[in-house]
């Protein structure tokens, strides 16, 4: 019961935050996004060679994953912040359902490996 509620949160988090963010930054770095912010980024990296641009692309998921890790650690640390998830009629507080929220992201059984469609390289 509790795992399905926890996994629902992980799936939604990974697909709608991790994957979307990585995809958006890939589009920005490749010039496929045309907004003002995207144009500013392209101006900043205009002098970068291909190796430097590839380093940026490599960094994007690392930065996103650290942000997700810190977000989950914050939820776990602050007891006055509660995230309640409902899945198929079952509900639960994710802090109480996990023995370490940030750790739910990692390993071959973690949320990233199971739910992400974007690149992931475990360090």
Looking at residue 118, its pLDDT comes to 98
Q: Tell me the pLDDT band of 121, cut-offs 50, 70 and 90.
A: confident
The span from the first CA to the last CA of the chain, in angstroms, equals 31
> Residue 71 above 70 pLDDT?
yes
Q: What is the DSSP letter of 102?
A: G
Q: For 86, phi and psi rounded to 5 degrees? A: -115, 130
Pairwise CA distance, residues 94 & 107, whole Å: 19
Q: At what angle do helices 20-30 and 36-44 cross, to 10 degrees?
A: 60
121 belongs to a structural domain: no
- 101-113 pLDDT tens trace: 999 999 899 999 9
123 belongs to a structural domain: no
Pairwise CA distance, residues 40 & 76, whole Å: 36
Q: Which residue has the tokens 């060679």?
A: 49
CB 17, CB 68: distance < 8 Å: yes
Q: Which residue has the tokens 């640390």?
A: 77
> Residue 1 above 50 pLDDT?
no
Share of the chain above pLDDT 90, in %: 93
Number of domains comprising the chain: 1
Residue range of the domain that includes 96: 2-115
63 belongs to a structural domain: yes
Looking at residue 3, its pLDDT comes to 66
Looking at residue 122, its pLDDT comes to 77
Question: What is the rounded average pLDDT for all residues in the chain?
Answer: 95
Looking at residue 43, its pLDDT comes to 97
- 26-53 pLDDT tens trace: 999 999 999 999 999 999 999 999 999 9
pTM exceeds 0.75: yes
Q: What is the DSSP letter of 35?
A: S
104 belongs to a structural domain: yes
120 belongs to a structural domain: no
47 belongs to a structural domain: yes
């Amino acid at each position: 019961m509790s795992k399905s509620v926890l996994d629902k949160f992980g799936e939604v988090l990974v697909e709608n935050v991790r994957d979307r963010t990585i995809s958006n930054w890939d589009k920005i770095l490749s010039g496929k996004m045309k907004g003002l912010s995207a144009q500013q980024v392209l101006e900043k990296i205009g002098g970068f060679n291909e190796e430097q641009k590839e380093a940026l692309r490599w960094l994007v998921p690392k930065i996103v994953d650290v942000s997700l890790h810190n977000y989950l650690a914050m939820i776990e640390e602050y007891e006055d912040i509660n995230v309640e998830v409902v899945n198929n009629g079952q509900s639960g507080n994710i802090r109480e359902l996990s023995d370490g929220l940030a750790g739910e992201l990692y390993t071959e059984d973690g949320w990233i490996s199971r739910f992400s469609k974007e690149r992931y390289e475990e360090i």
